[in-house]
Amino acid sequence: MENMNNESDNSRRAALKAGIAISALAALSLTTLNSANANTGSDTKHDMAILNAALDLENQAIWAYGVAAGKLSDSKVGNVIKALALRNQADHIKHRDIFISTIKSLGGTPANAKGAYDLSAYIKAGEGNLDSDANIAKLALALEVDAVLAYASAVSKLRTPALVAAGLTILPDESAHAAAIRAVFSTLDSTIHAVPAAQLSKETRSQWILSA
């Protein structure tokens, strides 16, 4: 009986935590959510790991845009890309703060940002570089495209339906960033389209990326 009460208390506590966390996301996403969507403590732990991975992506994006902004030239193109980079970075900062408050509300510890991130895989693959304004923008594009793919994968594995709904309000923003970067290239080359494919998936990734 005591075990049953403990179990019931634990599940109530988990539901309450999830409810508060969902509210944190909902407050910014304007999605109507309630604690009835909250799941068990084990689901909360599972979802928290996914939220922390999403936080990792935000921290990486904030860092990358910071590095990129510092390397962009003072030319007209450089300034256009810098303005866009800083707008995208500001969105990522907001996303980061949402994830931090959500993870804390669930009783977890948000992952710390690293001092630097390794982007060599992108540079080796010819998907951008830090040596010119155009290549910096291409690198940012590749990162945003992969962020969309990672978000889609992460959101689909969340177990709390309300967190899925809230997560889906951030996902389109990430793909909008990719389209916005491509739109800048489109002003310089009319054959480049802001939205090059009907889907953004592992299969269409190469259509979205611009080689350096």
Catalog residues that contact another protein under the rule CB under 8 A: 46, 49-50, 52-53, 55-57, 60, 111, 114, 118, 121, 146, 149-150, 152-154, 157, 202
For the CB of residue 151, give the shortest distance to another protein in the complex, in Å.
9
Rounded CA gap, 40 and 132, in Å? 50
For the CB of residue 2, give the shortest distance to another protein in the complex, in Å.
30
Longest dimension (CA), the chain: 73
Count of residues in the chain: 212
Locus of tokens 């793909």: 175
Tell me whether residue 46 or residue 193 sits nearer to another protein (CB atom): 46
Tell me whether residue 118 or residue 189 sits nearer to another protein (CB atom): 118
Residue 149 near residue 53, CB atoms below 8 Å: no
For the CB of residue 133, give the shortest distance to another protein in the complex, in Å.
26
Tell me whether residue 58 or residue 133 sits nearer to another protein (CB atom): 58
For the CB of residue 142, give the shortest distance to another protein in the complex, in Å.
13
Tell me whether residue 16 or residue 113 sits nearer to another protein (CB atom): 113
Q: What is the DSSP string of the chain?
A: -HHHHHHHHHHHHHHHHHHHHHHHHHHHHT----GGG---HHHHHHHHHHHHHHHHHHHHHHHHHHHHHHH--SSHHHHHHHHHHHHHHHHHHHHHHHHHHHHHHTT--PPPPPS----HHHHHTTS--SSSHHHHHHHHHHHHHHHHHHHHHHHHT-SSHHHHHHHTTTHHHHHHHHHHHHHHHHHH-TTS-SS-SS--STTTHHHH----
For the CB of residue 130, give the shortest distance to another protein in the complex, in Å.
18
Tell me whether residue 82 or residue 96 sits nearer to another protein (CB atom): 96
Tell me whether residue 121 or residue 188 sits nearer to another protein (CB atom): 121
Enter the tokens of residue 205.
Answer: 């990734």
For the CB of residue 105, give the shortest distance to another protein in the complex, in Å.
17
